[in-house]
Structure 1
Amino acid sequence: MARHYGTAIIPARPYKPKDKSKAENAVLIVERWILMRLRYEHFYTLSSLNQRIRELLMELNQRQQRVHPGSRYELYMRLDKPALMPLPAYAYTYIDSKQARVGPDYHVLYAKHAYSVPHNLVGQTVTLEATAQIICLYYHGNVVAQHPRKHQPGGFSTMKEHMPDAHVKQRWSAERLLGWAESIGSGCRAIIASQLERRQHPEQAIKSCLAILNLATKYGQDRLEAACLKALLLEQPHRKVILNLLLNNKEQDLSGTDIDEHPMMNHHNIRGQHYYQ
């Protein structure tokens, strides 16, 4: 931002309160001459409040100072304004920059939304620059992809030219994922098939499919298969549901409901269903 406006940012020194005295005094003056004078006034629109603040600010800047001769406005016109440079031709735009590794589905994740890059960059590290309107992706300093900024969590922005000509060009194909899942069990295969069908392009589901299949490494194939079967029974074939079942050891209960280990308590305040007509 400093380079854009051709200025320099010099922060106050730590443990040197006198460095901040000018700024703090300016805040105090604004509180006394503007905010304190507004405390008894009523405003019903933001524009009317802004108009009143503008009037009081003009009055404050025209007020004669005691130490320095002239008003703040006169000093600004005589000293500051002649030294000012013209504003840049376009407004400053904040850019969020980060390094990201391209996933096996040739997408890069930013703010929970996936953006595609050419499929031959799978496994490579790219630089992502994000503004409020556009996402730019660079590889070795060259632009490899541009996408309009999307704010849809879990969504995909995929360009057709980034897609491989055939699944065989990829390390992971739908057939290989289904084959791996089938070696674990029919329930796991059904979950992976569901993940592939939910996406507009099967390649977009590779990352989520691998995340589910890799759970077998930590929890074992039998537990993963049981969790997949229960997730299908609950009609929630999602990784988050499967992981939650595994973490809480609930995958073996195929009833779809949690079993209450404590018997119902008998108490005169508990009236039961027969109480209500």
Structure 2
Amino acid sequence: MIKYREILRLNSQGVSGRGIAASCKCSRNTVKNVLESAERQDISWPVGMSDTELQDLLFPEKSIQSNRKMPNCEYIHKEMAKSGVTLSLLWHEYCEACRLSGEIPLMYSQFCRHYRKYANTTKATMRIKRKPGEIMEVDWAGKTAFIIDNVTGELIPAYVFVAALACSQYAYVEVFLSMDMESWINAHINAFKYFGGATRIIVPDNLKTGVDKASRPEPKINKTYHEMAEHYGTAVIPARVKRPKDKPNAEGTVGIISTWIIASLRNQQFFSIQELNAAIKLKLEEFNEKPFQKKPGSRKSTFLEEEKALLLPLPASPYELAAWSTATVQYDYHIIVDKNHYSVPYEYIRHQVDVRTTSKTVESPYCFPCANTW
């Protein structure tokens, strides 16, 4: 609302129209109209009325109830959760419904303003850019936790993985002893299990663990990471280089978690990664159930009400970590993997082949275990 009282007060002190507009964050035309209307009504500072009462007195036409049909903002909010639905589409449907009922619709800008006001004051999320179940943002926290070696007493760093759902801001946290590929993949698997489903998009940083080459037009995703995403039916879209705003929820959650979880455990001692993760799990539940400061509900309640049902279902079995490598077929038509020999058709001699290794299998096109492994 326009600060009518402040405009009158600053004008009584001889402040220029430009200065009043800058101070009250409104246009100079607005200041001019307010002062002209106040002069016609013979109103001057000091006044014993609120801004709302002054508006009714200075501009009574603004208080006239519009005869246009108001949109159903609750229905709009539910529809915006569906894939492909936009405010423009909903406005066209609203206009068509008004035409059939013989009512006057709002203009598109007013329609959007009413929805934004409703979502900002009564809901935890705006769904114009963040659809439920669409994006999971992931990152390693800059601040590390520590466990104690029970033999030497040495402090061993533990690296904190953070995943946050973009819509509800529901978070998952786990610590690992390293930031290698195995920890990165297992963190994602455990996050999906914690959420009870997978999102359609994963937004990581351009870290070496997940992205082999950070190219602006087409980043090259690590094979293991891509295979894991394919297993869960999701896609990996890395944030642009030096663009943390591409994953603001993970960046913000990292900062909050550094205080809420890691710093809160600073006076406790842990002798294993399992003990530390158990303590973090309890703090994580408190964090997710903590009420929002400016809106009703919490991260957990918003997740359960609005986002959980829209996550992709988990596959029948979790992803099994695999390591990819390359090997050159030797003249004896064998390749060597972990000091074991595997035979391939002789046509591939002197060619490189991709090798996929898991804890149970070694796979490669036309690759067969050799009876004689040296």
Give the TM-score normalised by structure 1.
0.46
Structure scoring higher RCO (CA < 8 A, sep ≥ 6) equals 2
Q: Which has the larger radius of gyration?
A: 1
Give the TM-score normalised by structure 2.
0.35
